[in-house]
Chains A and B, each alone.
Chain A
Amino acid sequence: MSALREILAALLLVGGASVVALAALGVARLPDPFSRMHAAAKAGVAGAGLLLLGAGLAFGTTAAMLTVLAAVVFLVLTAPLASHALGRAAYVAGAPLGAASVADALANVLDRRVLDIDPARTLRPRSKPYTRSGEEPFMSAIPEFRRPADPALRDAPFSAPVALRRLICCLVGGPNQPAATAQAFDLAWRAGGSLTGLSGAGLEPRMWQGPLPIGGAYWADWLTARSRLRIRENCAVALKDFQDMAAATPSLDVAARHEEGQAADLVRTLAGHDLVVLPAGMGPHGVECRPNEEIAASLARARLVPVLRVRRKVTEVRSVLIVVGSQPACGMLATGLLRTGFWPNAEITILPLADHRADVAALVEAQAELLHAAARKLRILPSLEPDFDLAALRSRLAIFDAAVLSCLSTLQGGLFDMVRNCPYEAVSDTVPVILLP
């Protein structure tokens, strides 16, 4: 009896091992993932089950047999589940079918990604490049902004002033909104253009994005509803303020509208306008935020329309500061200022940042030349080193009424956020009016 058991155990061990080895060979040799999986799931489990039974018989004790039976039952129960899940995932992920396969029963049942290694299917369409050669690269991503729209303006020099005929004033609420509204009315009155008050655009309620704990969906909805309510209250206050001012100046062409939508919709709304006036410090969720998250900052990053960010209303601008850093956009600041035609009598001061860096000196020189050619009063300050004193810079900045920047903050850069003092941020916290051309 015992000898029979041992012979049976030996046969099971060797036979099971052979079946497992054949399954392994099948995993390597079969033509497509689905048949490979069939080898792994069926032959692999059968061989492993035989080998386990052999091991249990070789021990011969009840405990060993029970353990082995548990393992075999577990394998037999789970292998179909695992291979079903893997096969479905492989199909969805677009694993290629072998050349010998007869039919694809799931052809219109499951979505299937197209893998590049599958020769039977076409490749994914490549996304076309946005820009054509000879066009400004950043203007053409959105069709409404394919500038210059007017063929007469196409040949004009780039720094020639463009009449600010259509202004837009974003009514987003916040402590600086009255100043921004007043500044927008002042500008429209001087330029004789039309003014549109746009409330709510560019604001979206704060949504929770990410995994939710149990019961978290309720609180996420609650937070979103609260945020939307606060945005609407802010907008209503700002809109009423705007309409009061519009009633006070009947000679002006003023329109007001309310729009709700995502920040991306604001961009299309802005097409055809010459300048956007925004209050300082308002973020896209209707609460105050850091300068690098503001609506003004993201609009300036998109480089579609010049942005005027107002902290305090300034009637008569006497001195303008241009901050020139090492970013390429800093080379267009003087051009942008001349193009808007703002502040023709103001004295212009150029503040270079760290002029030992490449290109900063060249950028400063080119812009000084341009401003001299436009017969502006010009002064160039000594360069600001990266380890400047923040309080001293703030006190020096207090004399300026307006600043021209390329961005509101560069604090997102730097390894481990090492750069604690950002000159752009100091300027945008101190100077009342900032132009982001």
Chain B
Amino acid sequence: MTGTMIPGLIHWAAMIAAAIVMLGIIPVAFRLLAGPSSADRAIATDMLGILGVCLAALTALFAGHMAFLDIALGIALVGFLAAIAFARLMERASAPRMSEPAE
């Protein structure tokens, strides 16, 4: 980072933020593994996508390269599509089955 007025402030703030976000991954992972219904797992996956956006933005700060911000944008996009796909899947899977023809 070029020309910082307060040396190390952004770096340390990013470190603390990354640690907090990493801590946040643990309960989400618990919900993803344990969540009794498939809706819980889908929500946990959505939340993991948001955490991924945050980590990508922090990686941009650590690496000092703006391209990781674009990666954050991409993760947000894919997360949205994944959530919609999960929702469609769950809704279709719970639709009443067609009756099977007897032999």
Contact = CB atoms under 8 A, between A and B. Distances in A.
Given A82-B80, A93-B93, A27 B53 contact: no
A52 B37 contact: no
A90 B101 CA distance: 30
A48 B54 contact: yes
A92 B91 contact: yes
Interface in B17-71: 17-18, 20-21, 23-28, 30-31, 35-40, 42-44, 46-47, 50-51, 53-54, 57-58, 60-61, 66, 69-70
Nearest to B67: A67
A236 interface: no
A68 B86 CA distance: 27
**Interface core residue of B4, B21, B57 (most chain A CB under 10 Å):** B57
Contact of B61 (A7, A55, A115): A55
A52 B23 CA distance: 18
Contacts of A94: 37, 94
A63 B65 CA distance: 12
Contacts of B35: 33
B58 A51 contact: yes
A27 B72 contact: no
Interface residues of A, number: 74
Contact of A55 (B26, B50, B58): B58
A289 interface: no
A2 B2 CA distance: 12
Given A27-B31, A55-B61, A86 B4 contact: no
A13 B17 contact: yes
A117 to B, nearest CB: 5
Interface string A21-42: 1111101110001001100110
A48 B50 contact: yes
Secondary structure dominating the interface of B: helix
A115 B37 contact: yes
Given A40-B47, A75-B76, A89-B91, A27 B54 contact: no
Contacts of B89: 89
A48 B88 contact: no
A64 interface: yes
Contacts, number: 227
Nearest to A142: B102
B39 A93 contact: yes
Contact of A86 (B21, B30, B86): B86
A36 B61 contact: no
Interface string A119-153: 00000000000000000000001100000000000
Interface in B69-103: 69-70, 72-73, 76-77, 79-80, 83-84, 86-91, 93-94, 96, 101-103
A37 B43 CA distance: 6
Nearest to A264: B102
B54 A47 contact: yes
A168 to B, nearest CB: 17
B17 A267 contact: no
B93 A86 contact: no
A16 interface: yes
B66 A10 contact: no
A74 B54 CA distance: 14
19 contacts: A3-B6, A6-B6, A13-B14, A13-B17, A17-B20, A17-B24, A41-B46, A45-B50, A48-B50, A48-B54, A56-B69, A58-B13, A75-B53, A81-B80, A86-B43, A88-B91, A89-B87, A89-B94, A302-B103
Interface of B: 1, 3-6, 9-10, 12-14, 16-18, 20-21, 23-28, 30-31, 35-40, 42-44, 46-47, 50-51, 53-54, 57-58, 60-61, 66, 69-70, 72-73, 76-77, 79-80, 83-84, 86-91, 93-94, 96, 101-103
Given A44-B47, A54-B13, A64-B69, 16 more contacts: A13-B17, A17-B17, A21-B21, A24-B25, A24-B26, A24-B47, A25-B24, A33-B43, A52-B69, A55-B61, A59-B61, A75-B53, A86-B87, A90-B39, A95-B40, A302-B103
